[in-house]
Structure 1
């Protein structure tokens, strides 16, 4: 089975809340997680020669998705009624990504920032790459 890994900003309160949401709603428990600040993410970035922005990313096997496409792909993985949100992919990528970047630019101001990355609970630690 190919890896499905969500890369997220580990000090962003909004991002950490979304990870908690995903953990709760990923009934198949296929999603794995790594903060952008983790050794795993830093090594993956270096090995693949990719320059990442401060954003959420989704690694699906050998494909990397970013910005709004990453969010839509992640939501699609939740299955059931959540898949309906994938219809938003019909909106042109340039418009979706513009809205995504505006939100991302203001997320610390709106939701705050932690000094340290979230520490996963023992129940879900096996779903995180540290």
Structure 2
């Protein structure tokens, strides 16, 4: 059991790190934020392959949400107007568009501002996901 939600991201990716720093400053999600490289992935029930593939939101009960759903959960935790935006990202058809946009950005994050070759996402989707 976690004391609070956990947002897990790729700490080796400049784009991801910049995005998380922005979220910490502007959005202020109510969670602990940790790079997957420093998280106990096994205790979280998450594979390294999945953590490399997408940002993760882990609830105190251990439920794991990935990708655009993790972003939506982080937004909803922040309160204020962010809650509405996060909730909208969970509703079809917005959820489908958000998922596609997340994958497009995640798959090309090495081309994004602050991104490097180290930011490249492995080519295939993790098993069981």
Q: Greater relative contact order: 1 or 2 (C-alpha under 8 angstroms, separation 6 or more)?
A: 1
Note the 1:21-100 alignment, pairs <5 A: 21-25=22-26, 30-38=30-38, 40-44=39-43, 48=45, 50=47, 51-52=49-50, 53-61=52-60, 62-86=62-86, 87-92=88-93, 93-100=95-102
**Is there any run of 5+ residues in structure 2 with no aligned partner, and where?**
119-129
**CA 1:82–1:37 in structure 2 vs 1: closer, same or farther (change >3 Å)?**
same
Contact 2:6 2:34 in 1 (8 A): yes
Aligned-partner Cα distance in 2 for 1:83–1:14: 24
Aligned-partner Cα distance in 1 for 2:27–2:109: 24
**TM-score, structure 1 as length reference:** 0.70
Match of 1:113 in 2: 116
Contact 2:8 2:57 in 1 (8 A): yes
**TM-score, structure 2 as length reference:** 0.70
Contact 1:56 1:70 in 2 (8 A): yes
**Is there any run of 5+ residues in structure 1 with no aligned partner, and where?**
116-130
Aligned-partner Cα distance in 2 for 1:76–1:6: 13
Match of 2:8 in 1: 7
Shift of 1:91: 2.9
What is the RMSD computed on CA atoms of the aligned residues?
Answer: 2.6
Moved over 4 A (4+): none
Contact 1:6 1:59 in 2 (8 A): yes
Match of 1:104 in 2: 106
